[in-house]
Amino acid sequence: MMGIAKQFVALPIVDHLLIGIVLVFDLVAAPRLGMWAYSLFSLPGTAAHEFCHWLVALLLGAKPSLSNLIPTRDGNAWRLGSVRSSPNLITLIPIALAPFALFPVGIWYAVFVMHPATEWWYLAHVWISSTMLAASLPSKQDWFVAMPAIVIALVLFFALRELGLV
């Protein structure tokens, strides 16, 4: 049996083109249509993105609140969703970078759900798969939250390595 990555690569070229078109639209054109149009277009990916934060926070004992999917203005930008939790320095990195787990989920969705669908269902599944792939990237806020913990973890790793403990 082929691996899921090979199955994704083996999808017909039209599948890849449609996913690419929706990804470009989601990342470039949709934000220019206004906040509500963009948030509705990105809703499946946003919901999955926030669910990843919530699930990892729950598994790590960070006491997450329910996801908020109502867009709010955050300075000059819009925040499409959020999850509040109480992470510590160790749980901060996995919670902030949890959306990376959506990438294989988006690939799986494209291979096993999108491809066998037909007609309008096919286009709906292309949209859902594409928004999940776009949402697999941590947001600027996620990187902002995770970066201090990543720097501390790297400094600690190299210090332990210099001491011969790693």
Residues 6 or more apart in contact with residue 65 via CB below 8 angstroms: 83, 84, 85
pLDDT above 70 covers a percentage of the chain that reads 99
- In the DSSP assignment, the letter for residue 78 is E
Three-class secondary structure of residue 66 per DSSP: coil
**Average pLDDT value for the chain:** 88
Structure tokens, 5: 């990555």
Residue 1, pLDDT score: 46
Residue 80 has pLDDT above 50, yes or no: yes
23-45: pLDDT as tens digits: 888 888 887 888 888 888 899 99
Indicate the pTM of the whole model: 0.84
Q: What is the mean pLDDT of residues 120-137?
A: 92
Residue 2 has pLDDT above 70, yes or no: no
What is the dihedral angle through the alpha carbons of 53, 56, 61, 66, rounded to the nearest 10 degrees?
40
Structure tokens, 65: 């609140």
Alpha-carbon span 133 to 103, nearest angstrom = 5
Under 8 Å between Cβ of 103 and 133: yes
Residues 6 or more apart in contact with residue 57 via CB below 8 angstroms: 63, 64, 83, 85, 87, 91, 95, 98
96: closest CA among 135, 61, 139, 66?
139
34-74: pLDDT as tens digits: 888 888 889 999 999 999 999 999 999 999 988 888 888 87
42: closest CA among 142, 133, 145, 140?
133
Residue 38, pLDDT score: 86
**What band does 116 get if pLDDT is binned at 50, 70 and 90?**
confident
